[in-house]
Structure 1
Amino acid sequence: MHPNKQVQYACDKLAQDPKLADGFNAIGFSQGGQFLRALVQRCGDKLHMKNLITLGGQHQGVYGIPHCGAIKHKSCDYVRKIINSAAYTRWVQDSLVQATYWHDPLKEDMYKEKSEFLADINNERTINKTYIDNLNTLDNFVMVKFNNDTIVQPRETEWFGFYLPGQAKEMLTLQQSSIYLDDRLGLKKMDEAGKLVFLSTSGDHLQFDTNWFIKMIVKPYLAK
């Protein structure tokens, strides 16, 4: 199901659940991270999400092949270019979920114009103030990065970082990006208020120690 339809479906279901009427916490695994962020941005007036926790989420999208060091290996870069040649066609955007958060830093203008999901929820085409207001209702936005991730490329996207536009080597942190500096999502305001939390663990994609999870996620954000 297309992410836009997934988010609307989840919104309708959760908004009607009386058990969630007083608020709830949400944990997004991998692409579920950006999908749940879209949920609070688009549906925050209908439901109350308290803490959003994303593990390995791709908040600035992906530009690489799983298990493939795209920067180091020419074959990986070649495959990446093949995928990229079709990623922004309408039929690929409509039929392949991963294409909706494929982010080509070499074609920033095309990405912003053709991305049917990510460019919208990152407010990269226009500024949707509702997205900003709804995201800022969160108590905490917790982002977990896996330091040895071989699935997500670049792994910095898990902390809302990404490549400097125009190339695919030099990285920008969230705080160096236009999304933050132009405050396109209110993340600067959230950061200054202490609502943004950046955590990391040494595992590969979604591989974490249970004790770490209890100490760093459950006790501070879920056991309240």
Structure 2
Amino acid sequence: MARHFSPSLIITALLILVVASSFVSISTALPFVVFHGLGDQCISPEMIKLTHKLSKWSSYKGYCIEVGDGLWDSWFRPLEVQVAEVCEKIKKMVELKAGYNIVGLSQGNLIARGVIQYCDGAPPVKTFISLGGPHAGTASVPGCTGIFCIVADNLIKSEVYSDYVQTHLAPSGYVKLPNDIPSYLKKCRFLPKLNNELPHARNVTYKQRFSSLESLVLIMFEDDAVLIPKETAWFGYYPNGAFTPVLSPRKTELYTQDWIGLKTLDKAGKVKFLKIDDDHLSLDNRNMKKYIVPYLSGSGSSSRVDYEEDSSSSPDDDDEDF
């Protein structure tokens, strides 16, 4: 015998399904945190707008995580101290306890990686979106322009691995001079450890934690004149002992030896190599919606390589193509 349902019962069932669906969506939605770059701070109008727009467009709650007073400390507090402070802040945020995503800008990407790799007892990071990060290092102190600053930059580089500079200038922690790798490995206090480059001190936990990411989005700015070379945003860099050529990311020892799990992530189809045809951290609304929001909302493509087909740079380029 056919069973008939009253209209009120059908409406009630549909309402229950809608409410249940909304509850699942809310309960599984991941918040995100933003780490600003060198010389910036969370209270700057630009960072407030960025965080607000990404929250609005992705429908997920975003938080800008500050270090000390922001602007000053981003320059002069050692990176390992900045990471330790941010780690404690992250662990105290109940909003992140089920996991969260990260949007990093420039130097902020190294803070983000420090949290991912070093922070014991922290909630898991699911997606890491890196914009213009000096992941493989930089061959110059960022943000230095003009005649006076060029002179200052040369002076700093001549002593960049001294105890004084390493203690008092945050960017010195990721300056990697290809023509002085022994000093870099011995005296640079942050990046060699972060990238697991120290031959007798490689830490499997750092690799396990980094390779546990569900998605890694590496965004390079094609006209970047701040990061030297720009390909460091993709983990590309110079070979030891020379400033030419630039090695594509998959040609570096960090990748081929899989020191931090980048190759593991890439082989699993979890790495996106993207580029924006603009200057360092130049982000308009269109680019934010195209390159960031899809990965915060989980709608980004999962293909192994994603870059403009007409780009002169790709993760697989031969060295001489750069």
Normalising by the residue count of structure 1, what TM-score does the alignment of the two structures yield? 0.91
Alpha carbons 2:137, 2:174 under 8 Å: kept = yes
CA positional deviation for 1:56:
0.7
CA positional deviation for 1:79:
6.4
Query: Is residue 175 of structure 2 the alignment partner of residue 102 of structure 1?
Result: yes
Matches within 5 A, 1:138-149: 138-149=213-224
Aligned partner of residue 243 in structure 2, secondary structure: coil
Q: Residue 16 of structure 1 corresponds to which residue in structure 2?
A: 92
**Distance of 2:194 and 2:88 partners within structure 1:** 18
CA positional deviation for 1:169:
2.2
Alpha carbons 1:44, 1:134 under 8 Å: kept = no
Q: Residue 72 of structure 1 corresponds to which residue in structure 2?
A: none
One-letter code of the match for 1:61? G
**Distance of 1:44 and 1:203 partners within structure 2:** 37
Give CA deviations for 1:33-72 in whole Å, capped at 9, x if unaligned. 1110111011164221111111110001111365789xxx
Q: Residue 127 of structure 2 corresponds to which residue in structure 1?
A: 51
Q: How many residues align?
A: 219
CA 1:201–1:9: 2 relative to 1, 3 Å: same
Alpha carbons 1:64, 1:154 under 8 Å: kept = no
Aligned partner of residue 103 in structure 2, secondary structure: strand
Q: Residue 186 of structure 2 corresponds to which residue in structure 1?
A: 113
**Distance of 2:216 and 2:205 partners within structure 1:** 17
**Distance of 2:247 and 2:171 partners within structure 1:** 22
CA 1:68–1:14: 2 relative to 1, 3 Å: closer
Give CA deviations for 1:177-219 in whole Å, capped at 9, x if unaligned. 1111111111111110011111100111110231222122202
Q: Residue 200 of structure 1 corresponds to which residue in structure 2?
A: 275
Alpha carbons 2:140, 2:157 under 8 Å: kept = no
CA positional deviation for 1:223:
5.6
Structure with more contact order per residue of length (Cα contacts < 8 Å, sep ≥ 6): 1
Larger deviation: 210-219 or 34-43?
Answer: 210-219
Matches within 5 A, 1:47-196: 47-64=123-140, 81-125=154-198, 126-196=201-271
Structure of larger gyration radius: 2
Normalising by the residue count of structure 2, what TM-score does the alignment of the two structures yield? 0.64
Aligned partner of residue 219 in structure 1, secondary structure: helix
**Distance of 1:21 and 1:131 partners within structure 2:** 20
Counting aligned pairs with the same residue, the percent is: 33
CA positional deviation for 1:82:
3.2
**Distance of 2:93 and 2:220 partners within structure 1:** 31
Alpha carbons 1:25, 1:222 under 8 Å: kept = no
One-letter code of the match for 2:273? F
Aligned partner of residue 292 in structure 2, secondary structure: helix
Cα-Cα RMSD: 2.1
**Distance of 1:8 and 1:154 partners within structure 2:** 28
CA positional deviation for 1:78:
7.4
Larger deviation: 214-223 or 184-193?
Answer: 214-223
Where does the alignment leave 5 or more consecutive residues of structure 2 unmatched?
1-76, 300-322
